[in-house]
Structure 1
Amino acid sequence: MMPSAMDTTASAATPASPELRRIRALAVGGLVALIALGLAWELWLAPLRPGGSLWALKVLPLCVPLAGLLRHRLYTYRWVSLLVWLYFTEGVVRGWSDRGTSQVLALLEVVLCLLLFTACAMHVRLRLGPRKKRP
């Protein structure tokens, strides 16, 4: 039997455990920090051009899942754990190739991506619970 859409998206039906609330706070905090870092990096801290850069638009895809994370949408936690690898890759590449402030910001981006991925993966694991093996 397939789980219904209600099983994977319902949040108000079952109260969240304290551990799940902490993990959710980590995920939301990591996502907001990644958005703030991307904006600050491209507009003020190390812009490619004086006065800011259009590269700040790279954070727009990160704004989309924020509402889903706040609503405990399991599907959102799943796909954010995949989306974050794009930003992780950017951080690794820029951390390797850039120097100075940009390199430090890139390493911070990598750390935030790892935090967000770990929080999303833990959230999904806790929500799904132990699954039985099928014969």
Structure 2
Amino acid sequence: MSSAPAIVPTDRSTASPEEVLSRRLALTGTIALFVLCLAWELWLAPTGRGTLAIKALPLLLPIAGLLRYRLYTFRWLSLMVWLYCGEGLVRATSESGTGALLAWIEVGLSVLVFVACALHVRQRLRAAKAAQ
């Protein structure tokens, strides 16, 4: 019977350079996606009265976990970010002009966050397995 590898908590002092890079990419991408969503719906190409800006609020939740290297945060953020990718794809193909450009940027940032989170989880699991 095999057991799952124990995940060793990581912080800045014990993180490998690859883990630090993937965390920085995930954190930077999440903050950039938050800023993009706010700017898009409030100033750049608002639809309606700017009420869609509320879509940016869930992106504030993972920031503390990313700063603390919480593996669980990387895992659920890698799933949550697909909602933003889906919205970006729908709006990129249905809008024109500035809205379409902003939507493609949202798709790119969403994919960046996903890749960074997936890499980070993979690196941490590999490190935990090697520690056994």
Say yes or no: does 1:80 pair with 2:102: no
Unmatched segments (≥5 aa) in structure 1: none
Instruction: Verify the 8 A CA contact 2:27 2:63 in the aligned structure 1.
Output: yes
For 2:115 and 2:71, locate their aligned partners in 1 and report how far apart those are by CA, in whole Å.
Answer: 14
Residues 1:104 and 1:13: Cα distance change in structure 2 (over 3 Å): closer
The one-letter code of the counterpart of 1:102 is G
Matched residue pairs, number? Answer: 127
Shift of 1:11: 2.4
For 1:29 and 1:108, locate their aligned partners in 2 and report how far apart those are by CA, in whole Å.
Answer: 14
The answer for the alignment partner of 2:30 in structure 1 is: 31
Question: Alpha-carbon deviations, 1:32-77, whole Å to 9, x = none?
Answer: 000000000000000013xx50110101111101100110000000
Say yes or no: does 1:122 pair with 2:116: no
For 2:14 and 2:96, locate their aligned partners in 1 and report how far apart those are by CA, in whole Å.
Answer: 47
Query: Over aligned residues, Cα RMSD in angstroms?
Result: 2.0
The answer for the alignment partner of 1:101 in structure 2 is: 98
For 2:59 and 2:47, locate their aligned partners in 1 and report how far apart those are by CA, in whole Å.
Answer: 21
SS at match of 2:118: helix
For 2:100 and 2:11, locate their aligned partners in 1 and report how far apart those are by CA, in whole Å.
Answer: 42
Q: Which has the higher contact order (CA 8 A, sep 6+)?
A: 2
Shift of 1:13: 9.0
The one-letter code of the counterpart of 2:120 is H
